[in-house]
Chains A and B, each alone.
Chain A
Amino acid sequence: MWFARKEGVVRRLVRDAGHLIRPALVLLAGVAVFLVVRSAIVPKAFGQYGHYRPGALALVRQRPIAYAGQDTCVVCHDDEATARAAGKHAHVACEACHGALAQHADDPAAHVPQLPDVANLCRRCHEKDAAKPPTFPQVVTAEHSGGMACNQCHQPHNPHL
């Protein structure tokens, strides 16, 4: 008696609410498709080190270098390095003035560096500016040289007169 009544409730529920299964199925199908696609196209090893593609590290490292670095320069140019070591520019790296020369280090014949534009080069560092540390050698170029190029008096590798 009681059992039959319960069965009736279930049957009525299926009859009157059965259509609600349909949007639920559509939704579930959507979620399933999403999960399948997701597992197929998430980059391999994503999350190995953290929430990112570990391949990105190699990608960033791939970039070729432009500045060869002091140690590479002196392999060949140790005479200039020796001259520089005696003067005030001892701690200025070659490429600080001569610019990026990795290509030159790679193939010295194919990439011959140009000499820097002295007027501009020296002034950037040594033109007087109140913001520069007071102990740093500075001049007002117009008063100091009267238009003469810096390297007419100063040797760039050892600028002391």
Chain B
Amino acid sequence: MDFSRRDLFKAGGKLLVLASVGATLEQITGAEPASDAYKMADHWWGMIIDIDHCIGCGNCVRACSRENGVPHGYFRTWVERYQIEEGKQPRVDSPDGAMEGFPPNTRERLKSFFVPKLCNQCAASPCVQVCPVGATFVSPDGVVLVDDTYCLGCRYCVQACPYGCRYLHPQKQTVDKCTLCYHRITKGLTTACCESCPTGARLLVDFKNPKDPVHEILRNNKVEVLKPYMATQAKVYYKNLDGAVR
């Protein structure tokens, strides 16, 4: 065991942590992050999801719910299971958004796979377009956010989202959605869903960072966004996405 180091940590070795993990600064010291630590203009966030790595465990759904206090029965992220028999309509399920994973299905001779969903962080967001007051917006670093002190709760944005990513928060009575864990990514952490994904099926990416793996992934793979005909300039890219997915 490493009592010595843990004691050191407790005794005030926090500085060590601060130096190595600037990300947790606020959380450890309770201090405000330095205002110049994060520059919105330097980032343009998105995500890569690899269908071939998703095992439908629901870790992301639970983590998101825990991290963001998502109300029960509503989802900022969820996982769908597609089962496609040749020539038929796909059968899709997502029990409680896959909060507890999926009941096992061993039917062979079906094309079957999981599809994690979340806000696509569209650059040309239909939801932002329709907000009558400017309570939802694309941040300068490319995340679609809601100002819950300004939202009327008219729910026009919920209607306008082609992907079903928004809901009315039952307590706050304002619209709620995935923030791409904006409170985490602006501190240098990854999103809760990416952090907890055991297979690396989800990857937070920054299109403005020239060293980000996203550039290589986009170059070397055939990728697709959901409902490309909606022309929303979605920034969540799917690797190995089947054409049946809606």
Assess A/B contact in the complex (Cβ within 8 A).
Answer: yes
Most chain B beta-carbon neighbours within 10 Å: one of A43, A60, A79: A60
Stretch at the interface among A11-19, A31-39, A94-102: A94-102
A133 and B52 contact, Cβ closer than 8 Å, known pairs A128-B106, A140-B106: yes
Chain A residue nearest in CB terms to B62: A99
B100 at the interface (CB under 8 A from A): yes
Chain A residue numbers with a CB within 8 Å of B182 are 57, 60-61
Chain B residue numbers with a CB within 8 Å of A105 are 24, 27-28
B137 at the interface (CB under 8 A from A): yes
Q: In the complex the two chains form, is B6's CB within 8 Å of A71's CB? A: no
Partner of A64, one of B27, B55, B59, B101: B27
Chain A residue numbers with a CB within 8 Å of B5 are 76
Chain A residue numbers with a CB within 8 Å of B135 are 52
B 100-111 to A, binary, CB cutoff 8 A, 1 in contact else 0: 111011111010
Q: In the complex the two chains form, is B112's CB within 8 Å of A50's CB? A: no
Give how many B residues have a beta carbon under 8 Å from the other chain's beta carbons.
70
- For chain A, the bracket of interface size reads 35 or more
B140 at the interface (CB under 8 A from A): yes
B 138-149 to A, binary, CB cutoff 8 A, 1 in contact else 0: 111000011111
A70 at the interface (CB under 8 A from B): yes
Partner of B195, one of A67, A108, A140: A67
Partner of B67, one of A65, A89, A125: A65
B 165-209 to A, binary, CB cutoff 8 A, 1 in contact else 0: 000000000000001001110110110100111111000000000
Q: In the complex the two chains form, is A65's CB within 8 Å of B56's CB? A: no
B160 at the interface (CB under 8 A from A): no
Chain A residue numbers with a CB within 8 Å of B223 are none
Q: In the complex the two chains form, is A59's CB within 8 Å of B149's CB? A: yes
Report Cα–Cα, A50/B137, bound state, in Å: 8
B246 at the interface (CB under 8 A from A): no
A→B interface (CB under 8 Å) = 43, 46-47, 49-53, 55-57, 59-72, 75-76, 78-79, 89, 91-93, 95-97, 99-100, 102, 105-106, 108-109, 123-125, 127-133, 136, 140
